[in-house]
Amino acid sequence: MDEKKISRKNRLMGAVNITALIVLGIVMQIGGAYLVNAAVIFMGNSPAAGQYSDYMEVIRSLDTRNIMQAVIVMPIIEELVFRLIFLRAGRMIMPFWAANLVQAILFGVYHTVTIQRVYGFVLGLMIGCVFCYCPIIFKNKGKSSQLLALPNSLMGYGLTVILHITINAAGIFLAPLLPADLPLAIQFTIGMGFMALAAVACIKLYMLEKRIADINTGSVS
């Protein structure tokens, strides 16, 4: 295969992977939106439900400048802190699953609203898998790689920023368009279905990362 065809194929695969990330972000947000809404309905007039409702009122009233900050600026900062710094540092001293769990807990605690903390924890786990996995696909085509190498980590950071921006943008622009008056059971079922799809994708990412780590350490022949 000549260089032009290889270059064209690499660009195509890059576009496919970016598109897959965007779709994954939308799936995460739809699933999360329905699960959170179901939780709010289930909790009724509890303080946690009221706190979340007040939080969403603030989000819906944001002006253009604050929306841009929520959609673009905050994902850039949060991915820098929680994935590029915390997850990468944790990955240097502990297994991937433990480092990913720790950074996801920190990411959840970072949010101020109780329901958002739970949702943030789940998203943190999934985004952590993307951070460690995507550089393998983009640079090494599934072969053994140094996941902690700075170039790979920077690429993972850039890709999780795209994913995080998609999630936040979908939360502001898409989530309000979703039917919110569905019965509790239906909302819960839809939410679980979408989050299960996202979870399966991210578990696959984790399993590939684990397999490559085993190869690198000589655990797999």
d(CA 160, CA 81): 12
Mean pLDDT value across residues 78-92: 93
The number of distinct structural domains making up the chain is: 1
Closest CA to 86 of 30, 157, 187: 157
Assign 145 a pLDDT band (cuts: 50, 70, 90). very low
Closest CA to 118 of 201, 199, 39, 177: 39
What is the per-residue pLDDT for 9?
A: 61
Q: Is residue 146 part of a domain?
A: yes
- The pTM score is 0.85
Q: What are phi and psi of 2, to 5 degrees?
A: -75, 170
Q: Is residue 220 part of a domain?
A: no
Q: Is residue 121 part of a domain?
A: yes
pLDDT exceeds 90 at position 161: yes
Domain of 122? Answer: 3-59+72-214
Q: Is residue 19 part of a domain?
A: yes
DSSP tag of 137? I
| Tens of pLDDT, residues 14-34 | 677 788 889 999 999 999 999
What's the CA angle centered on 35, arms 126 and 49, to 5 degrees? 115
Q: Is residue 167 part of a domain?
A: yes
Evaluate whether 120 touches 107 at the Cβ level (below 8 Å).
yes
Evaluate whether 165 touches 72 at the Cβ level (below 8 Å).
yes
Q: Is residue 135 part of a domain?
A: yes
Q: Is residue 42 part of a domain?
A: yes
Count of other CB atoms within 10 angstroms of residue 23: 14
